[in-house]
Amino acid sequence: MARTESRETPAGSAHHPEIDWVAAEKSPQFRDLVAKKRAFVMPATAFFLVWYFGFIILAGYAPDFMGREFITDGLTVGYVLALTQFVMTWVLGWLYLRRADRVFDPLAARAAEHAREAGAGGARFDRTASTGRGTEEVTPR
Amino acid sequence: MTWVASVNTTALAIFAVVVGITLVVTYFASKRVATATDFWAAGRGLTGPQNGFAIAGDYMSAASFLGIAGLIFLFGFDGFLYSVGFLVAFLTVLFLLAERMRNSGKFTIADVLAFRLKEEPARAAAALGTLTVVAFYLIAQMVGAGVLIEGLVGIDFWLAVVLTGAFMVIYIVAGGMLATSWVQIIKAFLLMSAAIVMTIWVLAKIGWNPLDLFRDARAKSAEGEAYLKPGLFLATPIDTVSLGLGLVLGTAGLPHILMRFFTVPDAKAARSSVMWAMVLIGAFYVMTTALGFGARAILGQAGEESAGATGNFAMPLLADELGGDFFEAIIAGVAFATILAVVAGLVISASGAVAHDIWSNIVRRDRDSEHEEVWVAKIAALAIGAIAIGIAVIGGSGLNVSFMVGLAFAVAASANFPALLLALTWRRFNTTGAITGVLFGVISSVALVIVSPTVWPGPDSEGGLFSWYDLANPGIISIPLGFIGCWLGTMLSTEKVTERTFDELYVRSETGLGAEAGTGLTLTGRGRGTRAATAATSVIPHP
């Protein structure tokens, strides 16, 4: 893929054979990041999908319920539920951003740092694997 | 359109001002853009808020401004369902794709697939998905632009289409993504301002009580109570659910939106840009209810005749009622800016698929120079613009485009989204899976729309090629088919999975290690943006 010799910059996203990506993926630092991210993203995704499709299914199958008056004349259950979708989107977005800044970013930086040091240090660097892969990738057609 | 007898000179003057501002920005951008990264990714120098405005500008088409408000005006609650879906969709983008795209891609969505799959077939599949989405979306926008400008300014349909196409091509050829981004930022600013002014005006007119919007609208609608209930526009419940599915997953497969994440320096800016976009787009869609219900409350049943079958002219009519000819001309100018920003975004993403994916990587097999790639992109933008103008002019203002935007979302959700998500997260996923997935997604959405009642509006309006198939929105069938295609192709193939490449993509997409660097480009110069941009590169010195 990265046939860099034929042009000043590689065409697709550049590969980095100097990093041992297999080891990086198995590192506890990376696993920690992925686990913490998943612990937020999966429930959050499940929640917004359920809340959204609950609303859509009600709109489709229970139009009379959605048209019912809510608290005061003119305001309907459907419109109020629609507004909760806006609030949900903003709140979940804000929570994700806050969590990403405080938790995910430092963990990602730590995992990246670890992988970079392992690559540069060479101690835990599986040269055979890396070179093998590198050659396979760089071979011109 | 009896209310426009001849050329509206005020509207024309405001169009000229809008175009003038965007051309000045394009002129400055044209002097800065030098490399391929500048051309396609604006040098990755946009800040989070800037890209948030640009996403809002890229996303909210005339279909949002005139179309959604028009649908609410005509059909009440059902119009608002679109607004909700269009916004919630950004959670899918934020949680699943925005940061991963920034970390792993370069210029196009094909870069992400090609990173771990066999390059040529993967790029061909991604280019097919991109070009299909853009083709339908672009033609719908161009025809819409022609109809609107003809109605609002009084110039001929063909001339309106040619002008729209010409400016869109000028932005891209002269200023690439930098100019396109700033056109989108300016448009988002104009659109939000117009919506805020109109909303306040409407509220003032009905006496400041938002509840009166609903009460007055209901009173002025022939449908009465039903106007505030779902079901006037979307008749079958399963179609409503299918539409919802297509909207919430489709945005995460729109190439022109995903491409925007390559324009920021890092993942942090990518996610903050989604948050900015969600605030802008959400605020706008809340205001569409004030505008749509307000139009009903103020214009009443009488407005329906002049608003057109899809209600597109409800907003200009409302503007005229509120502030007379001059305000109507301003709203027309905003609508024009809205269309220009969207079509420019679409065409630059298509030019990426043609020049970066097909020409540079498949035809020339990387033997071309970066310089050549950018030139081919400009020629491609010119050609795509010419083709789009041609189809829109030949099809004419009567061309049925109502199904095209929906189809673009369906293809994005059924072909692009499954392939991208699985490439980033599923270790076993392989090239065959990507190809079958994209093909399943594209073919099923296009085929289901072709046989749908939207394309075959029969005399009984029940339409459809087959009496037993009446879905207008194919998402509920085509999206699962896209995922099944990915899974089936992967399982049936004997292709050896390049595990190590998956590890690289996986670690890179989650941590940003090895992510593409920026050039520190901004509209006013080079350098200030490099700090964050080099942070990504400083992790690994380039070999």
Where are chain A's structural domains?
Answer: 1-20+126-141, 28-125
Query: Element (H or E) spanning B187, and its range?
Result: helix B157-206
d(CA B486, CA B165): 36
CA distance B24 to chain A (A): 31
Q: Tell me phi and psi for residue A70, to 5 degrees.
A: -120, 110
Q: Looking at this predicted complex, what is its ipTM?
A: 0.92
- Window 393-422 of B: residues touching A by CB (8 A cutoff) are none
- Residue of A85, A135, A136, A139 for testing the chain B interface, max B β-carbons within 10 Å: A85
- Window 376-395 of B: residues touching A by CB (8 A cutoff) are none
- Which among B240, B248, B271 has the least Cβ separation from residue A97? B271
- Which among A7, A78, A115 has the least Cβ separation from residue B230? A78
**Predicted local confidence at residue B462, as pLDDT:** 53
- The reply to whether B528 falls in a domain is no
DSSP for B29-87, written as a single string = HHHH--SHHHHHHGGG---HHHHHHHHHHHH--HIIIIIIHHHHHHHTHHHHHHHHHHH
Q: Tell me phi and psi for residue B414, to 5 degrees.
A: -95, -25
| Beta-strand runs (E) in chain A | 69-70, 72-76
Q: How far is CA B375 from CA B39, B372, B378, B522, in A?
A: 10, 5, 5, 21
- Window 9-38 of B: residues touching A by CB (8 A cutoff) are 35-36
**pLDDT per residue over B90-125, tens digit each?**
999 999 999 999 999 999 999 999 999 999 999 999
d(CA B101, CA B81): 28
**Predicted local confidence at residue B42, as pLDDT:** 94
**Predicted local confidence at residue A121, as pLDDT:** 60
Q: Do B513 and A53 touch (CB under 8 A)?
A: no
Place of tokens 């990265």: A2
Total of domains in chain B:
1
- Beta bridge mates, A69: A76
- Residue of A16, A47, A96 for testing the chain B interface, max B β-carbons within 10 Å: A16
Q: Do B228 and A76 touch (CB under 8 A)?
A: yes
- The reply to whether B1 falls in a domain is no
- The reply to whether B535 falls in a domain is no
Q: Are B314 and B65 in contact (CB under 8 A)?
A: no
Structural domain boundaries enclosing B505:
9-512
Residue of A nearest to B110 (CA): A12
- In sequence order, what are the residues at sequence separation of 6 or more whose Cβ sits closer than 8 angstroms to the Cβ of residue A62? none
CA distance A4 to chain B (A): 9
User: At residue A94, what is the residue type?
Assistant: W
Is the pTM higher than 0.80? The answer reads yes
Q: Do B88 and A89 touch (CB under 8 A)?
A: yes
**Predicted local confidence at residue B189, as pLDDT:** 96
**Predicted local confidence at residue B530, as pLDDT:** 42
**Predicted local confidence at residue B5, as pLDDT:** 47
For residue A68, pLDDT over 80 is answered with yes
- The reply to whether B220 falls in a domain is yes
Residue of B nearest to A132 (CA): B500
For residue A118, pLDDT over 90 is answered with no
- Residue of A21, A38, A47, A75 for testing the chain B interface, max B β-carbons within 10 Å: A21
- Window 316-375 of B: residues touching A by CB (8 A cutoff) are 356, 360-361, 365-370, 373
- The reply to whether B541 falls in a domain is no
Q: Do B230 and A9 touch (CB under 8 A)?
A: no
Least confidently predicted of A1-5, A81-85, B33-37: A1-5
Enumerate the residues of chain B whose CB falls inside 8 A of the CB of residue A67. Answer: 77, 225-226, 228-230
Q: Tell me phi and psi for residue A74, to 5 degrees.
A: 100, -35
Enumerate the residues of chain B whose CB falls inside 8 A of the CB of residue A18. Answer: 540, 543
- In sequence order, what are the residues at sequence separation of 6 or more whose Cβ sits closer than 8 angstroms to the Cβ of residue A28? none
Mean of the per-residue pLDDT values for chain A?
82
Name which of B94, B98, B92 is nearest B112 in CA terms: B98
**Predicted local confidence at residue B6, as pLDDT:** 66
- The reply to whether B525 falls in a domain is no
Give the number of beta-carbon pairs within 8 Å between A and B: 223
As given in the structure block, the two tokens for residue B193 are 């301002």
Regions of chain B short of the pLDDT cut 50: 1-5, 459-461, 528-543
Q: Do B510 and A83 touch (CB under 8 A)?
A: no
**pLDDT per residue over B42-56, tens digit each?**
999 999 999 999 999
CATH of the domain at B329: 1.20.1730.10
User: Angle at Cα B159 formed by Cα B157 and Cα B165, nearest 5°?
Assistant: 105
CA distance B314 to chain A (A): 21
